[in-house]
Structure 1
């Protein structure tokens, strides 16, 4: 009985020692993050184990977003490469092995920007996790427009498209005006709208003074209100008609003088 107890104790001790030894061994993973890329270009993310003799059961890729964590793709020796339905048309596992892995995102969108994880599920070690960041950009395009106007105020919107979201400030109208912003994605294009409700002041033209200053990727762009066309006066057609009539009159007089001069010259030669 004593030998059985001792034998069980030794067996448990061996298991504990094995777990401790395998957990102490550090696992080295080489991570290759892609360079910042323009939206529409392809990016490749790579992870590779540098520690030899590890029994990897599965490799998994995940992505973090505002909605949570999404499993992007997996690879096993038995099932091979599997890409989730959400990504199967835009992403491939381009390096398929249990020791090294890579995924390529084709024709990136702004929504592909963010943090990804490569996960090696290793026997006796558990999950070996490393983070990789994808940084995307798209040059900003924008405009400043007036949308509503009343006797005492007007609403202006500065609408920009691009990535990442820009920093926008209002200049030229002072403080105390209500303003806000919102963003949306239209046809895979990120659109950012900043608005301001400007209270009019007597004897001031705040609409012409208003500026939307956009800071994006180290550059500043200033948008102003498009100049309003001046109202045409009702006298302009009359003035144009008078000028045309006067020109025609002058031409007629000159033509008559020339003809009369030629007749006189002809009569003089005949005599």
Structure 2
């Protein structure tokens, strides 16, 4: 076998491909989120006589054919990938395939191989990487007009990169810190915190950008809130804290109700006391009730008293004087006609 024939066989079987990947354009890494579509593409920079284009999945166990496009037989997808892969651009110079509803089983590296004549196989690899990235959550706490604490949290897989920035040029962030927490579903939550120094108002804007590997970036922006006021200032300001305002209103209402109740009770007590005094004043003192038989006029009392005295005197005189005959007594008591 001649030297040229050996070189041709080496090219044909892909054992000699030094410098050949530069002839093929492709993405080294394709990032896609779970459940979306992923497109793998490879294109020859120089026109070659291509007999067949083959896509293979690389694994520690070896290579598995995914799909092929032949000059004479057209496109063909392997049975294990028919429900997953389809051709997007089926051509001998430019060939791309699409993965539908990507899952973790689809993650890995794939090889695009152009079988050319007479050079042989031209190969290049591209890797499909899955990622998960949720919307970032930005929080700003302004303690004074010259300082604010900015924090941003993002959850993804693998661990996302969190970047804080301020849109006003004369302000800067300092004292950066970052904390990572691995969740039960293999995602990672990263929280970055920084201090915004320098005078700022409610028109100052800060932003948080997050990214997973080389995937698309997500960013949120927020205006710095107004500086929180003390409770005394909040009561004087129309834009004060509504929480303290409602507390003051509640206290005022309760105080008014208590004052009204006390006033009503006081008025009732005073009215009751006045009515009691008036009733006592209108009542006349009651004299002790005498027995009906003992009620006598003053004249009768004098006559009775005089009679009692006479009777008591007569009794004493009768006891002391000599007895007289009854006829004389009878004459004195009942005078006859002759004496008259």
TM over 0.5: no
Larger Rg: 2
Higher helix share: 2
- Coarse TM-score class (shorter-chain normalised): 0.3 to 0.5
TM-score (norm 1): 0.44
Higher strand share: 1
